[in-house]
Amino acid sequence: MTIPNIITILRFFLVPAVVFALLTGEMGWALAGFLVAGISDGVDGFIARHFDQRSELGAYLDPMADKLLLVSVFVVLGFMGELPLWLVIAAVSRDALIVAAVLLSTIMGNPVEVKPLFVSKANTAVQIVLAALVLAELAFALHFGPARWVLVIVSGLLTAASAAAYLVAWLRHMNGYGESTSNKD
C-alpha cells in the first residue's frame, strides 16, 4: 500500500460527502470537497511519479476515483436541473459503454488495454471545469454568463467524439486490426 494509493482511497470517501453536501444545499462544502479531490489527484500523481510509488493497484484505483466523483457530481447536478439531462445521460452512457466493452472483450478472451485517448483527456478536462464552474456559481451565487453553456456544448461534443473514438478502437481491436503479422496465425 503506497502513499498515492492511500490518498486515492481517501478520495473515494469524498464522493459521498460531496454528493451529500449537494443534496443538502451545502454548495460551499460541495465545491470544497470537489476541489480537495482534484488537488489530491494531482498530489498522488506527483508522489507516484517522482518518488517511484507507481503501482498496478493505483493504475486502476486512480481513474476509478476520478470517474466516480465526476459522474456522481454530474448526476446530482442533472437531478438538480443545473446540467441538462441529455449531457448527463451522454456522459454516464459513454462511461458505461467503455466499461461494458472492456468487460466483454475480457470475457471473450481478447482483453483490451485501456489507454486514454487525447479526445478523452480533453473531454474529462472540460467536464471537470464545467462541474467546478457550476459548483462555484452555486456556492457563491455567481453567474459566469454564457461560459456554462459553452462548456455544456463543448462537453457534449467531446463526449460524443470520445465515445466514437473508443468504439472505433474497440471494434478494431475485437476484429484483430492493429495486431502485428507475427501474432497472426
The fold adopted by the segment(s) 3-183 is Four Helix Bundle (Hemerythrin (Met), subunit A) (1.20.120)
Sequence spans of domains, the chain: 3-183
Q: Is 113 helix (H, G, I), strand (E, B) or coil?
A: coil
Which pLDDT score, from 0 to 100, does residue 113 have? Answer: 84
Which pLDDT score, from 0 to 100, does residue 180 have? Answer: 43
What's the CA gap between 136 and 132, in Å, rounded?
A: 6
Which pLDDT score, from 0 to 100, does residue 178 have? Answer: 54
Question: Is-contact 93 74, C-beta < 8 A?
Answer: no
What's the CA gap between 50 and 44, in Å, rounded?
A: 10
What are the Cα distances from residue 46, in Å, to 7, 19, 40, 56, 168?
12, 27, 10, 16, 32
Q: Which residues contact 88 (CB under 8 A, 6 or more apart)?
A: 74, 75, 77, 78
In eight-state DSSP terms, residue 83 is S
What's the CA gap between 30 and 10, in Å, rounded?
A: 16
Which pLDDT score, from 0 to 100, does residue 24 have? Answer: 98
Give residue for cell 467503455: 98
Residue 11 region, left (φ>0) first, then alpha (ψ -120 to 50), else beta? alpha
Q: Considering the entire predicted model, what is its pTM?
A: 0.90
Which pLDDT score, from 0 to 100, does residue 142 have? Answer: 95
Measuring CA to CA, which residue among 14, 123, 3, 133 is closest to residue 68? 14
Q: Which residues of the chain carry a pLDDT beneath 70?
A: 178-185
Question: Is-contact 17 69, C-beta < 8 A?
Answer: no
| Alpha helices per DSSP H over the chain | 3-23, 27-50, 56-79, 85-107, 118-140, 147-174
Give backbone dihedrals phi and psi of 41, rounded to 5 degrees, phi first. -65, -45
**Identity of the amino acid at 162:** S
